[in-house]
Structure 1
Amino acid sequence: MDSAPQGARRAMVEQQLRELIDTLEVGAALPTERTLAERWGVARMTIREALMTLTREGRLLATRGKGTFVQPPPIALRVRLGSFAAELDRAHLNPTTTTLDRRRDPEPPADARQHLRLRAGAGAAYIERLRLGDGQPLALERAWFPMRFARPLLSGEPPESTFEWMAEQGITPDAGEESVSAGAPHPDEARLLSIPATSTVIRLIRRSTRAGRPVEFSQAVLPASRYELWFPLSTTD
C-alpha cells in the first residue's frame, strides 16, 4: 500500500478501519497504531489520521493512556415535535429518565420568559432531566412551562415523558420551532453526560405552542458523537 498516493492510502486505511469496527463489539479496544501500521503496511501517521477521522465521526473513542475503543453507531434523531423516549425506542434503545430537579422557577431565563409570555414577577414550572438509553446518558433536558397548567407537573411521580404528560393534559403542542447549535459542554453537562470536557455537544432549543399559545420552552444538550440529526423536509406553495 506504501506505493499509493497519501490520500489514497488514508482512504483505504479508513475503509479497513470501518470494516474492522464492524467485526468488534461496542466497547472493544482497537489494536495499537503500531500493530495496525504493520498489519496494513503504512506509516503510523496514516493510521493516526484515519483514527482521528473516525473519532470525529463518533465511531471511536480515544482515551489517553488506555487506548481507542469502538463506540455505538450514531442515533438517527428526527428533529420534530414528539417524544424523545419514542425516538430511543425507534433506535432499539431502552429509554429511562432520571429527574434531577423539579420546582417552580421564580426567574426563568429571558428566552423562556419571552416565549412563555410571562408577566413581570411570574414564575414557571421547571423540570430538569437526564435521559438515558440502555443505561447510557444521551441527553440533558431542561424545560419550562406556564404555571397556569403545569402545577400538577411539580407534584406526585415525575413523568417519564413530558410530551406524553402534555398529551394527557390535552395540551399537546401542534406547532413550534427548534434551533440547533454546537459547542463545548459546561463542566456540569460533561459530568452528567459522562463525556470529556473537550467533547462537542449539540444544543437544541425548542419553543412549542398549541393553538398559537405558548406551552413549553426547552433546552436539550446531546453528545454530538452519539447522534445523526435529520430533518423531515417538504415544499410549500
Structure 2
Amino acid sequence: MGTTQLESVPEPKYWHLKTVLSEALDSEFSVGEILPNERELAARFGVARATLRQALEQLELEGRLQRRRGVGTTVAPPRMGVAVGTEQRVWPGVGEDAWQAVGCTLAAPPAAVAAALETPREQSVHIVRRSRVSHGQPVAAELLYVPQTSAPELSAIDASSEAARARVVLRELHRLELQGQDSAVELGSARADDARQLDRLPGAPVLVVTTRYFAEGRTAALSVATYRADTCRLTFGASGVEILHGQERQAS
C-alpha cells in the first residue's frame, strides 16, 4: 500500500482513506489475509489512529473486512445472498427451513416485542432460539417470540432438552392457519448474546429482519433474525429462504 496526501482532499480524511484502502484490498490482498496492525497502517498513511479506525469500520460495514477475535482484521470473502422475501406464506420451521432449533424459554419479552404482540409487558411468552449455519460458518441467529395464546396447551412443556422444547412450540404454532406476514429490515449492532452466537465482536454491524406472523386476526408470533452484515446481503424474491455463495444466483 502506498502513501497519499490526505490533507489536500476536501472530503473527510477517513472517507478518502477508505477509498484508498479499498483499492489496496482489490490489488494487494487476498481473501482471509490479515491486515497490518493499526499502528503500522496509521504510520504508513500519515493519519491518526482514530481516522484509520473510522475507515476500517466503514469497510467492515460494507463487508470488505472482518474483525475476528484473536486473529485481527482480515479481508472478507464475497457476501452471501440471503433471500428474505417470499410470496409463499409459511410458519417458521415449515418445509426446507434452513434454521436449526437451539433452545426455548418461557419469559417476559422486551417492551417493544410485548407491544407488537399486544400482550401485557409482564406476561411470559415462549422465546424460541434458532441459528443458521452455512458452510460451517454461523451467519444468523433468531429469537422467535410466541405468545401463550398461540400455544395455549404448552404452559408447561415436558421435553428432554431445550431444543426439543423449541420444536414442540413450533409444531403447536403450525396448527394455526397463517393469514399473512410482513417483514422489516434495518441495520443494527450486535448485542453480546448475538455476537457470541455469530462469532463477532459486540457492536459489530448486523442486519436485523423483524417478521410478524398473523393468525386469528392478531400477531401470532414475532421473529427477530440477526444476520452478519459482513458476510450476508439480503435479497428479495419469490422463492424460499436460501443462502448463495460467490457468483451463484437464486433459482427461480
- Correspondence for 1:107: 108
Specify whether residues 147 and 28 from structure 1 end up closer, same or farther in structure 2 by C-alpha distance, changes over 3 A only: same
SS in 2 for 1:225: coil
Once the two structures are superposed, the pairs formed by residues 135-174 of structure 1 within 5 Å of their partners are 135-145=136-146, 146-148=150-152, 155=159, 158=163, 169=174, 171=176, 173-174=178-179
TM-score, length of structure 2 as denominator length: 0.58
Q: Deviations over 1:200-235 (max 9, x none)?
A: 2232222111464433112122222222224459xx
* 1:226 aligned residue (231, 235, 243): 231
Alignment of 1:86-97 (within 5 A): 97=100
Deviation at 1:14, TM superposition (A): 2.9
Letter in 1 for 2:134: G
> Does structure 2 retain, via aligned residues, the 8 Å contact 1:124–1:147?
no
1:133 aligns with 2:134: yes
Task: Kindly state the Cα deviation for residue 144 of structure 1 after the two structures are TM-superposed.
Answer: 2.0
Identify the residue that residue 15 of structure 1 maps to in structure 2. 23
Residues in 2 aligned to 1:198 and 1:121: alpha-carbon distance in whole angstroms = 28
Per-residue Cα deviation, 1:166-196 (whole angstroms, up to 9, x for no partner): 6994546452222333333222222222211
Instruction: Please provide the CA RMSD for this pair.
Output: 4.9
Secondary structure of 2:63's match? coil
Q: Which moved more, 1:210-219 or 1:131-140?
A: 210-219
What's the counterpart of residue 213 of structure 2?
208
Q: 1:65-84 to 2 correspondence within 5 Å?
A: 67-80=72-85
Q: Describe the superposition over 1:57-89 as per-residue Cα deviations: whole angstroms up to 9, x where unpaired.
A: 122224699553222322222333568899x99
Q: Which residue of 2 aligns with 1:61?
A: 66
2 CA distance for matches of 1:169 and 1:30? 48
Aligned counterparts of 2:19 and 2:151: Cα–Cα separation in 1:
56
Report the CA distance shift for 1:154/1:214 in structure 2 as closer, same or farther (over 3 A).
Answer: farther
- Mean alpha-carbon deviation: is it higher for 217-226 or for 63-72? 63-72
Give the aligned residue type for 1:199. A
Contact 1:34 1:44 in 2 (8 A): no
Q: SS where residue 197 of structure 1 aligns?
A: coil
* CA apart distance, 1:127: 0.9
Tell me the amino acid that sits aligned with residue 141 of structure 1. Answer: E
Q: Does the Cα contact within 8 Å between 1:96 and 1:133 map onto a contact in 2?
A: no
Q: Tell me the amino acid that sits aligned with residue 136 of structure 1.
A: Q
Q: Which amino acid aligns with 1:76?
A: G
For these two proteins, the number of residue pairs brought into alignment is: 215
SS of corresponding position for 2:230: helix
**Is 1:199 aligned to 2:219, yes or no?**
no
Which deviates more from structure 2 when the two are superposed, residues 190-199 or residues 65-74? 65-74
Unaligned runs of 5+ in 1: 37-41, 90-94
Question: Are 1:29 and 2:34 matched, yes or no?
Answer: yes
Counterpart secondary structure, 1:182? strand
* Larger mean Cα displacement after TM superposition, 67-76 or 115-124: 115-124
User: Using CA pairs below 8 Å that are at least 6 residues apart, which structure has the higher relative contact order?
Assistant: 2
Query: % of aligned pairs identical?
Result: 23
Give the stretch that moved more between structures: 198-207 or 224-233. Answer: 224-233
